[in-house]
Amino acid sequence: MAGRLVLYTRARCGLCDELLAGARPIAGRFGFDIDTVDIDRDPELARRYNTAIPVLELDGTEIARYHLDADALERALATAPDT
């Protein structure tokens, strides 16, 4: 099984929607799903990220913030170890 790809987001976030729409097909090609986490449901996440969203992480390592870097995502997924 591959690592965990997480998108930190919140409701009514246009940048979040854009990043997710761009990342899903790339993630799918590598066999990854993207878990979305609404930061407003967790006070610690809301404090940590506040307006610095969306943030896309692979196994806790940040891959993108605000806008998708498709090349960085592809490189990260291509070199992600199987777990």
Instruction: Give me the domains of the chain, ranges plus CATH numbers.
Output: 5-78 (3.40.30.10)
How far from chain centre, in Å, is Cα 69? 11
> For residue 5, what are its two tokens?
């790809």
- Rounded CA-CA distance 21/57 in Å is 15
pTM score, two decimals? 0.91
Tell me the pLDDT tens digit for each residue of 22-60.
999 999 999 999 999 999 999 999 999 999 999 999 999
- The residue type found at 23 is A
